[in-house]
Chains A and B, each alone.
Chain A
Amino acid sequence: MSTSAAKPRVATVSLAGCFGCHMSVLDIDERIFDLVDIIDFDRSPIVDFKDFTGRCAVGLVEGGCGNEENVEVLRSFRRNCDILISLGDCATMGGIPALRNLVPTEECLREAYLDGPSVHNPSGRLPNDIELPLLLDKVRPAHEVVRMDYFLPGCPPSADTIWAALTALLTDKPVQLPYELIKYD
C-alpha cells in the first residue's frame, strides 16, 4: 500500500455497532484497488492502525456511542478528520443498541450481569475492571456527541452507496445518491 503524502487519508471506526457496516465497506470487492489508488487508509480496523498518523480527509463512523470510550474515540475522529460520515443506522439513529434506552441503566446491568436467567456470577458484582469503559445512561447517535457532516442510512448501507458517496467526496463532486441506493423495501 502506498503512503504517498499527496493522497487523502480515510479513517474508519466501529463504535456501538456490529461491524456490519465495515463488512459492507469490504463489499465494494475489487473496487478496493481503485480506492487505494486514490486514498490511504489511516486509523481503521481495515489496516489495523490503532491511532491517527495524520490529518484525514474523511472519517467513516459506524455505530453510535454507548460508552465513554466511544465518546472519546468519536471526539478524536472529529478532531482529526475534515469530514465525518455517520455510516449506517446505528451511527445515524442509535439503531439496535439504542433499544436499551428504554430500560434504566441499572436494570440493564443487573439483567446482564446479576439477575439474567443464564448468568453465572458468584461474585454478585458488576464487572468493574479499570480497562472497562463506563456505560452511558443512553446510547447516543453520533451527531448528538459531535458534529457530523453526512449520513448514509441503511443497515448496513450497501457497498454501492458507500462507494458512490466516498468517491464523490474524494473527487470533489456533489454527493448525489440515486433513489435505488437509499431505498430499503
Chain B
Amino acid sequence: MSGNIAQTAEQVCGAFGDDPARLMDIIRGVQQRLGHVPDAAIDAVARRVGRARVDVESVVSFYAFFSKEPKGRIVIRLCDDVIDRMFGYDAVRAAFEEELGITLGETTPDGRFTLERTACIGMCDQAPAAMINDTIVTWLSTDKARRIVSELREHMTPERLVKRVGGGNNGHPLIRAMVHNSIRRPGPLIFSEINRGEAIRKALSMSPAEVIRAIKTARLRGRGGAGFPTGLKWEFTRSASGDRKFVMCNADEGEPGTFKDRVLLTERADRVFAGMTIAGYAVGACEGVMYLRGEYAYLLRYLEDVLEKRRADGLLGRGVMGRDGFDFDIRIQLGAGAYVCGEETALLSSCEGMRGDPKNRPPFPAQKGYLGCPTVVNNVETLCCVTKILEVGPATFNMYGTSRSAGTKLLSISGDCDSPGVYEIPLGTPLGEVLEMCGGTRAKAVQVGGPSGRLVGRDGFDRLICFDDLATGGALIVFGPDRDILEIVSRYMAFFVDESCGYCTPCRVGNVLIKRGVDAIIAGRAEPRDLEQLEDLCRTVKSTSRCGLGQSSPNPLVTALESFRPEIEARLRADPNGYRRSFDLSRAVRPTEQLVGRKSVHT
C-alpha cells in the first residue's frame, strides 16, 4: 500500500519536474489521486524534490484544502462568512448535517462525504453558498441542500448539480457554473468591450519607459487594497538589478465580501492577461504567474484555454505580436484556501512551494520577489486598468475619479440591499450614493473594504470612496437596521483567528483575546475596564504585527467603536464589588462537581 502511495507521489513529482517550487501543485496532484496526503506520500515527495520532510508536511498542514487525513470522495465546504450567517447558513448547515447523518467536520462512515466550513468563497451576492469539490453551489436553502445530497448519492458527480448556468461566460463549456455575475452597473472603463491585442500593440509601439510614464500619467493606484502607485512599483522593478524578473497577478481575492475579481476573470480575462503582458514589457520580465485562489478552481480550465488562445494568436509566447526580443508567457498557480496568501509576500512564499507565510520587508518584492528575482505583484483589477489605459490613453482614464484617486473602481456589494452585485463607480463617489444605487439606504452600517477595512455607521455615509477617505479593495457589505454590530465584529474576529499564519504572537494570540473580549460583551459579562483593555490590545496587535493581516485585524472592533461606541458601552457594566464579571464560578467548578458528585457551596 505505502509502496503504491510512494509511487503515485513520485509520478506527480515527476510531472512537475521534481521542482520544489511547485510543491503546491505536487501536493494538489497527490491529493487528487489519493484523496488525501498520507505520511508515506509526504516522505516520497520530500525525497524526490529534495526538501526536508517537515517542509513538505508544513505545506500540507498549512492550507485548508490539503489534508493528511482521508476525506470523503466529495467534500462539501459550506461558506461560513458573516453574509452566509445573515442569509440562512445555520439552517442550511443543519439540513446538510441531517441529510448526511454527520456533523460539521465529519466524514460519513462509507467514506463518500465530508462536511466542512470554509471562509468566504467570493459568492456573497448569492449566499449562502458552498463548494462541492470544485463545483460552486449558490443561493442554498434547506430544500436545496437536501436535494443536493440525494442527487449526489445517486451520481457522485458534483458537476452534474449544475442545471441552470449563471449568465455570461458562466455558461461557457469550460466553466459551466451556476454562479451569477450580477454586473449591476458596468462602467466606462473596466467592463467596456475589449479590442483584443490593441493595448499590447500600443504598448509595443512605445519604449518600456514610456509605458511606465503612461501608467504614471494615468495616476493608477493599486486596486488590491493598499493603493500603491502602480507606475512607481513598476519603475522600482524595472530598475532593480537581475536578469530574470516576474509579473504576478494577485487573484487570491480572499477578503470576505470581495468578488469583483471573480467576475473580471470570468468576463474580462483577456484584459487581465494583457495587463500582465504589458507589465512584463514595461519591467523587463518574461514570465508571469497568476495566483488563483483555490476557491476559483472552477475557472481554471477556462483561463488555461484563454491563455492557450492567446499563445495561438501570438499574444503570448516567443516574440509577442512579432516583437523580437520580447518573450512573455503566463502560468496559473492555484492556491489552496488560505486568506493570508493574498498578502503579496505570502503569495510569493506560496508560489515558491512553501507555507503561505508573509516575509519580512524590506526587501520588497520589487527588489527581491519570486525566487529572489525582482517581481511586480498587481491585483486583477489593477491589471485590467493597465490594459484600459493603454487602450484609451491616460487622459481618458483619469477623466474619471478625483485627482489623487483616478479612474473607476469595482465594488462588490452584498448584504442587506436590494441589488447585490458588482458596480463600477468613479472613485470619489459618496458612500450614500452607492447605497442608493444598490437599494441599501436603510443600512445601519456598511463594512467598507471587508473585515480588514472599516465599519462605517450612518454618520459616515457622506464619506467618499477613494484612497484618501474610504479606501477599499472593493468589498462593501451592507448591514440593515436590525443587525447586531458586535455579532458582526465577533464573526470577523473569528475569521482572523482562523487565518492568522501564526508567526507573530500579537496576531496569533491577540486576535483570540480580542474575539473573547467581544464575546464577553455580547454575553453581558464585560466591564468598562475590559473595553479599555481591549482597545489597548487592539493598538498592540496593530502596531506589532509583521504583515497587513495583523496590522488590520483589530479593525472591526476599532472602527465599530468609532460609530457605535454608545451602543457598545451600553452593554458594559461594572461589578459593585470589583469582581470580574467575565469569570463564572459555577461554570468553572462544574467539571469537578460532576466528577465528585457534590455541588459547590459557593455558587
A residues apposed to B, CB below 8 Å: 68-69, 71-72, 75, 78-79, 104-106, 109, 126-128, 130, 134-138, 140, 143-147
- Choose one: A78, A104, A127, A134; the contact of B593 (CB below 8 Å): A134
A143 to B580, CA, bound (A): 8
Query: Does B588 reach chain A (CB closer than 8 Å)?
Result: yes
Contact, CB under 8 Å: A72 / B602: yes
Q: Which A residues lie within 8 Å of B603 (CB)? A: 68
B591 closest partner in A (C-beta): A105
Q: What is the total of A-B residue contacts with beta carbons within 8 Å?
A: 70
B residues apposed to A, CB below 8 Å: 527, 529, 577-580, 582-583, 585, 587-593, 595-598, 600, 602-603
Q: Which A residues lie within 8 Å of B593 (CB)? A: 134
Q: Which B residues lie within 8 Å of A135 (CB)? A: 589, 592
Nearest-Cβ distance from residue B543 to partner chain A, whole angstroms: 22
B588 closest partner in A (C-beta): A136
Contact, CB under 8 Å: B589 / A136: yes
Contact, CB under 8 Å: A145 / B592: no
Q: Which A residues lie within 8 Å of B592 (CB)? A: 105, 109, 134-137
A58 to B502, CA, bound (A): 40
Nearest-Cβ distance from residue B526 to partner chain A, whole angstroms: 13
Contact, CB under 8 Å: B583 / A145: yes
Contact, CB under 8 Å: A137 / B578: no
Q: Which B residues lie within 8 Å of A104 (CB)? A: 591
User: 30 A-B contacts, Cβ less than 8 Å apart?
Assistant: A68-B588, A68-B589, A68-B603, A69-B602, A71-B583, A71-B588, A71-B602, A72-B602, A75-B577, A78-B577, A78-B579, A105-B591, A105-B592, A105-B595, A106-B591, A109-B595, A126-B595, A134-B593, A134-B596, A135-B589, A135-B592, A136-B588, A137-B589, A137-B591, A140-B583, A145-B580, A145-B583, A146-B578, A146-B580, A147-B529
A145 to B578, CA, bound (A): 9
A127 to B583, CA, bound (A): 26
Nearest-Cβ distance from residue B541 to partner chain A, whole angstroms: 19
Contact, CB under 8 Å: A146 / B595: no
A117 to B90, CA, bound (A): 47
Contact, CB under 8 Å: B577 / A79: yes
Contact, CB under 8 Å: B590 / A146: no
Contact, CB under 8 Å: A134 / B600: yes
A105 to B583, CA, bound (A): 18
A144 to B578, CA, bound (A): 11
With A68-B600, A126-B596, A128-B598 as known contacts, state yes or no: A75 contacts B590, CB within 8 Å: no
Nearest-Cβ distance from residue B575 to partner chain A, whole angstroms: 8
A109 to B588, CA, bound (A): 15
A128 closest partner in B (C-beta): B596
Which 5 residue pairs of A and B lie closest in terms of their CB atoms, listed nearest first? A136-B588, A105-B591, A147-B578, A128-B596, A134-B592
Contact, CB under 8 Å: A71 / B585: yes
With A68-B585, A68-B589, A137-B590 as known contacts, state yes or no: A145 contacts B579, CB within 8 Å: yes
Which of A78, A126, A147 has the most chain B CB atoms inside 10 A of its CB? A147
Nearest-Cβ distance from residue B122 to partner chain A, whole angstroms: 38
A129 to B447, CA, bound (A): 56
A145 closest partner in B (C-beta): B583
A136 to B586, CA, bound (A): 9
A137 to B585, CA, bound (A): 10
A147 to B578, CA, bound (A): 5
B593 closest partner in A (C-beta): A134
